[in-house]
Amino acid sequence: MIIVNEQVNYTIPIIISASLIVITSILVQNFKLSNIWTLLTQILAALVVILIGRVEISFINHIELGYLTIPFTLLFIVCFTNTTNIEKSPDGLLTSLSIITLLTLSIIAFLQGDSFAATTGLLLIVSTLGFLLHSSISSKVDIGKTGTILLGFMIAILSLFLVKTSILAIYVPLFTLAVPIALYYYFIQYKFTNKQSTIICCTVAILLCIPVFLFSNLALWCFIIGLTMIIVISQFSHKYRFI
């Protein structure tokens, strides 16, 4: 599924990439720069992980990607990084969903024996919770867009490590981040308060984590395909269209 060079120290490329994202995001917000700089930095950060960290998706279900390996891995990282790159959302929504996703990925990594991914995920959870605790005491401090983008990037990287065992690791960030956020924007935000919206979205995320531990890969694939078909079919009706 994924090539991982065991001799590579993943810590250095990840720190370099994370630093690039944080610094650029701060500069973009402070100097009102174009968002294209954020995207270019995300691409550069992803390339650092791919080329220096030697982490890349080279096979999908025994299908070799060949020359598409780096472009596909790059697209994977950038797409999942921007899942949490949202202009407006209730306070704590993206952070709460990210913590749920990180916890799920950490548990999966622990069960798979991937100590690096499990430890990294737990460290991110602890640091994020500490930041939330500090922000609750001081209203002047907020995790902001910089923090949520960084969380999205780290979730993408951790997902890459787990894809080496099962391609269905993609299920976790896709359904615990994208689905609750989509529900919020298209159905929830106009009917509930921010606090209620956050509770509903987090509950949905937690419920979508459960199938990973209860069902087989085949059952998960059927669920993903079935849900995708429902979403596609729903777009033919003006009443349920949201794309």
| Tens digit of each residue's pLDDT (9 = 90 or more) over 116-164 | 899 999 999 999 998 888 776 666 566 778 888 999 999 999 988 887 6
Kindly state the tokens that stand for 110: 């622990």
Please give the annotated binding residues, written as ranges: 85
Average the pLDDT over each of 15-24, 100-109, 222-231 and give the range with the smallest value: 222-231
Q: What is the pTM of this model?
A: 0.85
What percentage of the chain's residues is helix, strand, coil (to nearest 5)? 75, 5, 20
100 CB contacts (<8 Å, ≥6 apart)? 176, 202, 205, 206, 209
Note the helical H segments in 82-143: 93-112, 115-137
- How confident is the model at residue 185, as a pLDDT? 80
- How confident is the model at residue 235, as a pLDDT? 63
Q: Considering only CA atoms, which of 168, 148, 149 is closest in space to residue 104?
A: 168
Q: What is the DSSP letter of 198?
A: H
- How confident is the model at residue 19, as a pLDDT? 94
* Euclidean distance between CA atoms 212 and 167, whole angstroms: 12
Question: How many degrees, rounded to 5, is the angle at CA 160 between CA 156 and CA 166?
Answer: 125
Per-residue pLDDT tens over the stretch 26-85: 999 888 889 899 999 999 999 999 998 888 777 666 677 777 888 888 998 998 888 887
Domain spans of the chain?
2-234
- How confident is the model at residue 86, as a pLDDT? 75
- How confident is the model at residue 141, as a pLDDT? 61
Specify the residue for token string 């995790």. Answer: 143
Please give the annotated binding residues for Mg(2+), written as ranges: 85
Beta bridge partners of 4: 55
- How confident is the model at residue 85, as a pLDDT? 79
Angle between helix 217-234 and 194-214 (nearest 10): 140
Q: Which residue has the higher pLDDT, 233 or 20?
A: 20
Per-residue pLDDT tens over the stretch 197-230: 889 999 999 999 998 888 887 788 887 788 777 7
End-to-end C-alpha distance for the chain, whole angstroms: 31
